[in-house]
């Protein structure tokens, strides 16, 4: 098995959406779905842009898809050669994880089309595609290339007033409907054959037409260079896109590809996890790391990663807690500058968090559950549609998932502890932690007849149970946030004036004593036989199996949670909740307590979220349940190969890649199997290698120094690089 490649033979239109995810190419600025060059809307093709949002009428805001600028369509003797129209003699699609290259090999009969394309890691506005056409019969070949705004959108359209230009580079300039952001695309070609050339233009496209009489046995090569820019990048995005595409043509496909590959080689040198003993595991890890690395915002100073990456517009292109809990760990240990960008995004969107807290009548920073540009809340009050009545269902994710602010404070503190770099705290991170702690002070519930601090009417990670009180995870993350605020005194001990200036600016002195008091008074969860109750009253709910609840569904697309969901009155949960708490705070819990909770909650967990399995795997490693950890690891790491995960929430399509699982796969391998941890700023390993593996190696960066972690049956070691 070639663990660096994923191949698929044959074409089925029904699999087009999943294939678009499997074969994604991206570079952090944009994501090109893995559909064939001639694809139409039935196959969900898209070039999804990072941090460019638009709302059409009263529909959900979502990221904008750029004009289609790499499409190529063929016809031979007047017959269209398109996969969706006619089954070919043969078709193979492939993604090269090592270098982020999509390849196809399609035998249409009269023409065999082989292509390779990439979204450049070296020039983040650039896309390139090289096509080789092997001619199998005489005739007239027509090739269409160009730019079109007739594109797939979930809640669009988003591009209006398109203006097209013709010349060496074809051009398109359109604007978004909500904020008037200019989106430009350009395309030019390079060919090794003569052909008649003409242009066609319509309201939604500009097309270059190439015609040539061909003979059997000929091979033609055509390279397409395209560029996408927006007015968020600078002035005159149309001229910039045109310049980039023409310069790429001047350099040639091979030179652009070489530069692209060089960046990928550096990425893998800094992050690759190498495993021996199981080829399927090696391929799955390569897939997971590829899918997370290819969407990292290397081009940006302060940008995060959407929950579905750049694989499309699902989940509104929003930034969730996934960023801090599932993406951050791999990056902080391998490419800390990317972890820094993820956290800078939170620092620079503090204004949105302050505004949201004020909207709800609280002080401090209440971060958006679904953060869009500027930290604006993208989460609506109605996130699910009832599959029977087709009416929107009121959900409370926006209002009640208050753990999001603590999740961000958690990552900010971990960044400092792992990297030893205090500058991020000095440049706004400390302010974020303090404002998040202030929010938890303001949001706390205190009864006159009790001394404890409680958090009522919340939703924890398990979204099937809404509006609960004293969710164990939420209470713990609120406590940790408050303690992290107090910890700043120790972190800034050598420069107390810096912290004092921040506190003075925030008028924080009155809150300092409240933090000490409240953090010590937060209600501890009920425990029964060593098992932590997920929230008040959880143990009193119906205790039944996941399969029992699944059997109550009248429609497989039903949403399990909410007021009328089949799981809401039972102990069946969506994803790791208490277990996530045990995984994120291992120092607070004994092994026996972890084992008791794992044995209780895992059979009651549907794993209805791709965020769930890795938390169970991490805790399984700790307590020696390595067979279960292995199964959960393979489920997590293989998700974007097998195309697993939920694709519908009610009637809402939620398909796409799974960056949280991708990050989770690294977490299981590095933090679980290798047992990587930090003690007093020094990395250590405590191996938990499963029987399926004989060797595990990966690089890390800690406190500015690079190391290689090496784990085998004989034990583990960390060596400087």
Give residue-wise pLDDT tens across range 110-133: 999 999 999 999 999 999 999 999
Architecture of the domain whose range is 5-269: Distorted Sandwich (2.70)
- pLDDT computed for residue 109 by the predictor: 96
The domain segmentation of the chain, as residue ranges, is 5-269, 272-599+617-720
What is the enclosing helix (H) or strand (E) of 631?
A: helix 626-637
Rounded to 5°, angle at Cα 614 from 643 and 20:
20
Residue 463 appears among annotated catalytic residues: yes
The list of the chain residues with pLDDT below 50 reads none
Domains 5-269 and 272-599+617-720 share a fold: no
Which CA distances in Å does 147 have to 204, 251, 450, 716?
8, 22, 66, 54
Q: Do the Cβ atoms of 196 and 78 come closer than 8 Å?
A: no
Q: Tokens 């706004």 — which residue?
A: 428
Q: Which CATH class is domain 272-599+617-720?
A: mainly alpha
CA distance 650 to 593: 36
- pLDDT computed for residue 649 by the predictor: 65
Catalytic residue among 373, 463, 466, 602: 463
**Helix, strand, coil percentages in the chain from 3-state DSSP, rounded to 5:** 35, 25, 35
- pLDDT computed for residue 651 by the predictor: 64
How many Cα atoms are found within 13 Å in the side-chain-facing hemisphere of 340? Answer: 19
In DSSP terms, 706 is beta-bridged to 701
Q: Tokens 């929950």 — which residue?
A: 307
- pLDDT computed for residue 650 by the predictor: 64
- pLDDT computed for residue 644 by the predictor: 64
Q: Given its phi and psi angles, is residue 315 left (phi above 0), alpha (psi -120 to 50 degrees) or beta?
A: left
CA distance 327 to 666: 9
pTM: 0.96
Q: Do the Cβ atoms of 224 and 131 come closer than 8 Å?
A: yes
């Amino acid at each position: 098995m070639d663990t660096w490649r994923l191949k698929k033979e044959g074409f089925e239109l029904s699999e087009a959406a999943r294939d678009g995810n499997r074969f994604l190419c991206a570079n952090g600025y944009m994501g090109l779905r893995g559909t064939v060059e001639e694809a139409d809307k039935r196959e969900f093709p898209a070039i999804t842009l990072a941090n460019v949002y638009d709302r059409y009428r009263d529909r959900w805001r979502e990221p904008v898809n750029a004009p289609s600028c790499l499409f190529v369509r063929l016809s031979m003797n007047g017959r269209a050669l398109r996969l969706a129209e006619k089954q070919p003699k043969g078709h193979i699609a492939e993604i090269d994880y090592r270098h982020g290259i999509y390849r196809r090999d399609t035998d249409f009969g009269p023409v065999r089309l082989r292509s390779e394309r990439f979204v450049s890691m070296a020039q983040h506005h650039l896309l390139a595609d090289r096509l080789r056409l092997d001619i199998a019969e005489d005739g007239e070949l027509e090739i269409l290339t160009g730019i079109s705004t007739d594109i797939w959108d979930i809640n669009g359209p988003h591009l209006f007033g398109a203006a097209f230009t013709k010349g060496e580079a074809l051009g398109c300039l359109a604007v978004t409907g909500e904020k008037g952001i200019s989106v430009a695309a350009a395309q030019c070609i390079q060919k090794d054959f003569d052909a008649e050339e003409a242009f066609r233009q319509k309201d939604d496209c500009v097309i270059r037409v190439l015609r040539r009489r061909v003979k059997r046995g000929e091979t033609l090569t055509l390279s397409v260079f395209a560029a996408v820019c927006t007015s968020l990048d600078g002035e005159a995005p149309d001229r910039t896109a045109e310049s980039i595409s023409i310069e790429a043509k001047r350099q040639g496909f091979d030179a652009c590809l070489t530069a692209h590959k060089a960046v990928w080689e550096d990425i893998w040198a800094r992050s690759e996890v190498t495993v021996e003993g199981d080829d399927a595991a090696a391929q799955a890890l390569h897939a997971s790391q590829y899918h997370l690395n290819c969407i990292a915002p290397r081009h940006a100073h302060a940008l995060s990663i959407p929950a579905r990456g750049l694989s499309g517009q699902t989940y509104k292109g929003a930034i969730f807690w996934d960023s801090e809990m599932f993406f951050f760990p791999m990056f902080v240990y391998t490419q800390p500058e990317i972890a820094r960008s993820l956290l800078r995004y939170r620092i620079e969107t503090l204004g949105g968090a302050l505004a949201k807290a004020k909207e709800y009548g609280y002080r401090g920073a209440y971060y958006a559950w679904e953060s869009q540009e500027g930290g604006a809340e993208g989460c609506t009050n109605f996130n699910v549609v009832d599959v029977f009545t087709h009416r929107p269902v009121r959900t409370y994710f926006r209002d009640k998932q208050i753990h999001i602010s603590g999740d961000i404070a958690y990552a900010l503190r971990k960044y400092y502890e792992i990297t030893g770099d205090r500058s991020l705290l000095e440049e706004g991170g400390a302010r974020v932690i303090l404002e998040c702690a202030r929010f938890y002070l303001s949001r706390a519930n205190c009864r006159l007849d009790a001394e404890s601090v409680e958090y009522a009417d919340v939703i924890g990670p398990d979204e099937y149970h809404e509006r609960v009180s004293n969710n164990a995870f939420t209470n713990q993350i609120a406590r940790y946030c408050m303690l992290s605020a107090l910890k700043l005194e120790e972190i800034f001990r050598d420069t107390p004036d810096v912290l004092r200036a921040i506190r003075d600016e925030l008028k924080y002195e009155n809150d300092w004593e409240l933090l000490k008091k409240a953090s010590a008074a937060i209600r501890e969860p009920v425990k029964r036989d060593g098992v932590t109750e997920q929230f008040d009253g959880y143990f009193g709910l119906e205790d039944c199996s996941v399969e029992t609840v699944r059997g109550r569904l009248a429609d497989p697309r039903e949403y399990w949670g909410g007021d009328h969901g089949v799981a809401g009155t039972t102990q069946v949960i969506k994803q790791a909740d208490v277990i996530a708490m045990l995984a994120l705070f291992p120092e607070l819990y004994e092994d026996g307590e972890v084992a008791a909770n794992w044995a209780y909650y895992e059979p009651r967990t549907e794993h209805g979220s791709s965020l769930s399995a890795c938390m169970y795997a991490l805790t399984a490693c700790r307590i020696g349940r390595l067979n279960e950890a292995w199964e959960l690891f393979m489920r997590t790491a293989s998700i974007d190969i097998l195309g697993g995960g939920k694709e519908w929430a009610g009637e809402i399509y939620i398909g796409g890649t799974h960056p949280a699982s991708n990050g989770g796969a690294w977490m299981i391998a590095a933090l679980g199997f290798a047992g990587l941890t930090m003690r007093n700023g020094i990395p250590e390993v405590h191996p938990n290698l499963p029987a399926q593996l004989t060797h595990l190696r990966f690089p890390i960066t800690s406190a500015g120094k690079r190391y290689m972690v090496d784990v085998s049956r004989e034990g583990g070691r960390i060596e400087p690089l």
